[in-house]
Amino acid sequence: MPQIKAAKKDLRQSMKKARINSRRKSEIKTLAKCFSRQLEQGNESEAKKTLLILHKKYDKAAKTSLYKTNTINRRKSALMRKFNSKFSRAKK
């Protein structure tokens, strides 16, 4: 345990940030699982809504440095590929 007042405050702040970060990561993981479930069920409208929310959450995570930018871009791209492969319509 820290003895200096500033170090105690720093510990409190880092613990608070860790709780917030884990909550945000958990939300993203839960939404990703929900999105996968909706893809399996073939529910296009709900999957689209969840995808938009996921993109918004991922952008916020990148902005707050929760994940690196390239990681966010890779995950968003993978989600879009899954969505498009499931619900793409053949254009004739």
Which residue range(s) make up the domain with 71?
5-87
Specify if 74 maps to a domain: yes
pLDDT at 83: 95
Share of the chain above pLDDT 70, in %: 96
∠ Cα 60 84 25 (to 5°): 25
Contact between residue 2 and residue 11 where contact means Cβ atoms under 8 Å apart: yes
Which CATH number covers residue 23? 1.20.58.110
User: Which position has the token pair 């899954």?
Assistant: 82
Structural domain count, the chain:
1
pLDDT at 1: 86
Specify if 92 maps to a domain: no
CA distances from 80 to 12, 59, 91 (A): 39, 15, 18
> What's the one-letter identity of residue 15?
M
Specify if 24 maps to a domain: yes
Give the residue-averaged pLDDT of 13-41: 96
Res. 31: pLDDT tops 90:
yes
Q: Record the tokens describing residue 8, joined without a space.
A: 């105690």
Per-residue pLDDT tens over the stretch 37-82? 999 999 999 999 999 999 999 999 999 999 999 999 999 999 999 9
Res. 28: pLDDT tops 50:
yes
